[in-house]
């Protein structure tokens, strides 16, 4: 069930609930404000890449204490970004967006009202509700005339640069095709010309035929470490049936996803366990990125890329000069070894 409301400054707020009854959507009692927001998309004439300029984000909220978290419910007289005193899943327009108006849209997805949980702590039915929210937002944002691509993602951990610790993700409705996606489109087109087949279908078939780097193989989804992984521990999760985006997933694929994804996240949290300890004091930092086909691109396949910047229990993967300067990655962990480790830490 979906309930749409408005915040005091006019931003949209959407409550998602698993039941069939709409939630009570109390009014935002904060005084209306009109923060100065302006974003600009510039194109690098040398590389062709697009760069978003959003100077107002310098003033965004940074690592507030739990009692001042803007994504917690409004309780005990304290007013937050979410007027309700509890919620299941909430999507709201970002107060400090990278993209504004005709340049696109940025949204925040709150996975739970509990400030102290992480995605891996959620029950399967809550993950299913988050998935349905991603699907709904992909459908609505894709329909906006200025949007070329919808990108749903989660950053977790201070090492990744997260500014709010509350369990949440984001959605960017981009007015251009992201550089990594553009490279995929180019490679898929080349593969089609050379073989007459789809690149992603061939990739997945090869992974399943030679399971050395397969981490999880289920009826509707497959998770594997890519042959040329850029990050120490990097897993790509594909539906076994090629679909362009989240909206095209069928019921069986949607139903199987929560359990599989939770298992992946929990394995990431067990990667660097110290002997004799069941849980890490600091959960593994990661980025979880949904790659969806831009409008009109028929060759791309929906998939999720999950990776961590941690390469050992006490070591991070920092981008060196070859990587940040030339985009030529060097990985200190062999993909085959990473896959073995991720299989070893199964539940």
The pLDDT value recorded for residue 276 is: 58
Q: Is 255 helix (H, G, I), strand (E, B) or coil?
A: helix
Q: Strands 89-93 and 168-174: what pairing?
A: unpaired
Is 168 noted as a catalytic residue in this protein? yes
In the predicted structure, residue 280 carries a pLDDT above the cut 70: no
Using CA atoms in the order 72, 77, 82, 86, what is the torsion angle rounded to 10 degrees? 70
The pLDDT value recorded for residue 36 is: 76
- Provide the percentage of residues in the chain whose pLDDT is more than 90: 82
Give the number of other Cβ atoms within 10 Å of residue 202's Cβ.
12
The stretch 128-133 carries a mean pLDDT of 98
Q: Strands 286-291 and 149-156: what pairing?
A: antiparallel
pTM score of the predicted model:
0.95
Domains parsed from the chain with CATH numbers: 2-177 (3.30.428.10), 180-344 (3.30.428.10)
In the predicted structure, residue 302 carries a pLDDT above the cut 90: yes
Point out the catalytic residue in the list 115, 116, 168, 303: 168
- Residue tagged 């329909």 (tokens): 143
Query: For the segment 45-91, what is each residue's pLDDT rounded down to a tens digit?
Result: 999 999 999 998 988 887 888 789 999 999 988 999 999 999 999 99
The pLDDT value recorded for residue 227 is: 97
Q: Are 201 and 242 in contact (CB under 8 A)?
A: yes
Provide the 8-state DSSP code for 228.
Answer: T
For 186, half-sphere exposure in the C-beta direction (CA atoms, 13 angstrom radius) is 7
The pLDDT value recorded for residue 176 is: 96
- Residue tagged 């789809």 (tokens): 198
More confident residue, 345 or 36: 345
Q: Is 170 helix (H, G, I), strand (E, B) or coil?
A: strand
The stretch 82-106 carries a mean pLDDT of 95
How many degrees, rounded to 5, is the angle at CA 160 between CA 253 and CA 180? 60
């Amino acid at each position: 069930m979906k309930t749409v409301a408005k915040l005091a400054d006019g931003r949209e707020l959407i409550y998602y609930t698993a039941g069939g009854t709409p939630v009570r959507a109390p009014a935002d009692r904060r005084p209306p404000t009109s923060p100065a927001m302006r974003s600009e998309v510039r194109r690098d004439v040398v590389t062709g890449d697009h760069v978003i300029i959003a100077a107002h984000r310098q003033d965004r909220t940074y690592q507030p204490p739990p009692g001042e978290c803007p994504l917690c419910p409004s309780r005990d007289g304290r007013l937050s970004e979410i007027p309700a005193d509890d919620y299941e899943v909430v999507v709201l327009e970002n107060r400090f967006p990278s993209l504004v108006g005709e340049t696109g849209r940025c949204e925040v997805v709150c996975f739970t009202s509990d400030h102290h949980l992480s995605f891996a702590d959620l029950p399967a039915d809550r993950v299913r509700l988050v998935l349905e929210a991603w699907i709904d937002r992909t459908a609505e944002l894709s329909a906006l005339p200025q949007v070329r691509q919808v990108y749903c993602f989660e950053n977790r951990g201070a090492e990744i640069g997260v500014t709010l610790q509350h369990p949440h993700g984001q959605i960017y409705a981009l007015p251009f095709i992201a550089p990594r996606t553009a490279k995929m489109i180019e490679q898929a087109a080349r593969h089609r010309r050379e073989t007459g087949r789809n690149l992603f279908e061939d990739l997945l078939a090869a992974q399943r035929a030679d399971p050395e780097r397969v981490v999880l193989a289920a009826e509707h989804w497959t998770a594997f470490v890519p042959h040329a992984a850029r990050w120490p521990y990097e897993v790509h999760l594909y539906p076994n049936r090629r679909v362009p985006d989240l909206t095209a997933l069928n019921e069986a694929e949607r139903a199987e996803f929560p359990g599989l994804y939770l298992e992946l996240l929990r394995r990431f949290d067990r990667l660097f366990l110290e002997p004799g300890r069941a849980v890490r004091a600091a959960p593994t930092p990661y980025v979880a990125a949904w790659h969806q086909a831009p409008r009109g691109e028929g060759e791309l396949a929906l998939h999720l890329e999950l990776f961590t910047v941690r390469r050992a229990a006490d070591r991070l993967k920092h981008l060196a000069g070859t990587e940040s300067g030339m985009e030529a990655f060097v990985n200190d962990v062999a993909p085959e070894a990473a896959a073995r480790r991720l299989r070893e830490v199964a539940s």
